[in-house]
Amino acid sequence: MHIKEIFKTSSTTFSFEFMPPKTDEAAEQLITTVDELQQLHPSFVSVTYGAGGSTRQRTNDLVVRLKTETSCDPIPHITCVCHSQEDIATILQRYAAHGISNVMALGGDIPRKLGSYDRSQDAYRYAADLVRAIRKFNLSGAHPHPQGFGIGVAGYPEGHPATPNRLVEMDYLKAKVDEGADYIVTQLFFDNHDFYDFRERCELAGIQVPVLAGIMPVVTEEGMRRMSQLALGIRIPAKLLRAVKRAQGDDDYVRKVGVQWATEQCRDLLDNKVNGIHFYTFNRSNATREVYASLGVKDSRALAG
Ligand SMILES: Cc1cc2nc3c(=O)[nH]c(=O)nc-3n(C[C@H](O)[C@H](O)[C@H](O)COP(=O)(O)OP(=O)(O)OC[C@H]3O[C@@H](n4cnc5c(N)ncnc54)[C@H](O)[C@@H]3O)c2cc1C
């Protein structure tokens, strides 16, 4: 469903992010996760693209599989990095042909294995340029939906490391929306004050599209460290760090701490009329399902309003 229609029918969206699996074993694990999470009836699920340099074809394969074999509505991520104009057009045509309704347009990070890759080879430098290209594709009538693809973009409540000037950064975010983005999904954060402040700054900048909050329940100390490296700049509050430390490396206890923290974040976000909650699942369902249960929710639609 086009994201604008999803927002019309759901005052609060619930969505899950998956990564394309790299092995057969990981693929089986993901299918189990999807089976379990689709019972919660998410508004949509999204699939990352080339994060950390993994093969991009896998995103396409997973998106098509989710679309044809499950009840999930998949939103593929697309990045500017390492792509020509023709590449992007081909990707969009393929997704349009499979009836994919929305895409997430991102700048992307240079895959580690490409080291000092020269970005001047890319057709699109910034996500705003990619949004413009998708809009152009939409206007060409190449998508079966009259409005074409719905378009999501990324936002950073604590700031993106490449732009230390937060006022200028907000101008760049506004540019993505002005080019045609329909919604914003935030980087994960652990302190809701950062999100509320970001939401207010968006309002002050004249950004009127829904802002969905990115939530990641901490499940292991190692996972928390890895995420802190991937999502550079995120702050892990001392209160959370202290609780993780108290668990003394016992994964079961760390997971309980993480689920409790994420549950409190979600409860507070719902009380503060968040447009949507987007769970970074890391292809596992348990933590997300436990957060739902602690919120007293069996089905996302019960909260959609
Ligand atoms: C929800 C979410 C999902 C993600 N999914 C993926 C994924 O699937 N695959 C992946 O590889 N990465 C993913 N990322 C990471 C993302 O690609 C990186 O953080 C990347 O560095 C920035 O992407 P962006 O879309 O914000 O880029 P942009 O909006 O292009 O911004 C990148 C940087 O450039 C600055 N900037 C923007 N416009 C200009 C301009 N005109 N002049 C100068 N500077 C400018 C911005 O302020 C920012 O610092 C995701 C991030 C989020 C929050």
Residue 11, domain CATH:
3.20.20.220
SS3 assignment, position 157: coil
**Ligand 1 lined by 126 (C-beta under 6 Å):** yes
Q: Which numbered atom of ligand 1 lies nearest the CA of 154?
A: 53
**Ligand 1 lined by 106 (C-beta under 6 Å):** yes
**Ligand 1 lined by 172 (C-beta under 6 Å):** yes
**Ligand 1 lined by 173 (C-beta under 6 Å):** no
The predicted structure's pLDDT at residue 299: 85
d(CA 167, CA 210): 20
In a domain, 53, yes or no: yes
HEC-encoded secondary structure of 198-209: HHHHHHHCCCCC
The predicted structure's pLDDT at residue 300: 84
Taking CA atoms only, the protein residue closest to ligand 1 atom 30 is 126
**Ligand 1 lined by 109 (C-beta under 6 Å):** yes
Catalytic pick from 17, 158, 221, 290? 17
SS3 assignment, position 102: strand
d(CA 139, CA 223): 42
Mind listing the pLDDT tens digit of every residue in the chain (305 residues)?
Answer: 999 999 999 999 999 999 999 888 998 899 999 999 999 999 999 999 985 555 788 999 999 999 999 999 999 999 999 999 999 999 999 999 999 999 999 999 888 788 888 889 899 999 999 999 999 999 999 999 999 999 999 999 999 999 999 999 999 999 999 999 999 999 999 999 999 999 999 999 999 999 999 999 999 999 999 999 989 999 999 999 999 999 999 999 999 999 999 999 999 999 999 999 999 999 999 999 999 999 998 888 876 65
In a domain, 170, yes or no: yes
In a domain, 114, yes or no: yes
**Ligand 1 lined by 181 (C-beta under 6 Å):** no
* Contact indicator for 219, 258 with CB cutoff of 8 Å: yes
Return the structure tokens found at 97. 């042909």
In a domain, 147, yes or no: yes
Q: Which numbered atom of ligand 1 lies nearest the CA of 156?
A: 53
In a domain, 300, yes or no: no
**Ligand 1 lined by 177 (C-beta under 6 Å):** no
Taking CA atoms only, the protein residue closest to ligand 1 atom 37 is 172
The predicted structure's pLDDT at residue 115: 80
Given the structure tokens 């999501």, which residue do they identify?
Answer: 152
Q: Distances in Å between the alpha carbon of 260 and those of 18, 112, 185, 288, 291?
A: 22, 34, 22, 11, 7
Does the pTM surpass 0.75? The reply is yes
Domain count, the chain: 1
Return the structure tokens found at 214. 């990115």
Q: Which numbered atom of ligand 1 lies nearest the CA of 108?
A: 17
Given the structure tokens 């080879």, which residue do they identify?
Answer: 121
In a domain, 14, yes or no: yes
In a domain, 172, yes or no: yes
In a domain, 65, yes or no: yes
d(CA 158, CA 210): 18
Taking CA atoms only, the protein residue closest to ligand 1 atom 13 is 108
Active-site residue, 17 included? yes
Cα 304 from chain centroid? 19
The pLDDT tens digits for 73-116 are 999 999 999 999 999 999 999 999 999 999 999 999 888 788 88
Question: How remote is the CA of residue 113 from the centroid of ligand 1, in Å?
Answer: 19
d(CA 61, CA 57): 6
Which domain covers residue 119, as residue numbers?
A: 3-294
Return the structure tokens found at 159. 């700031």
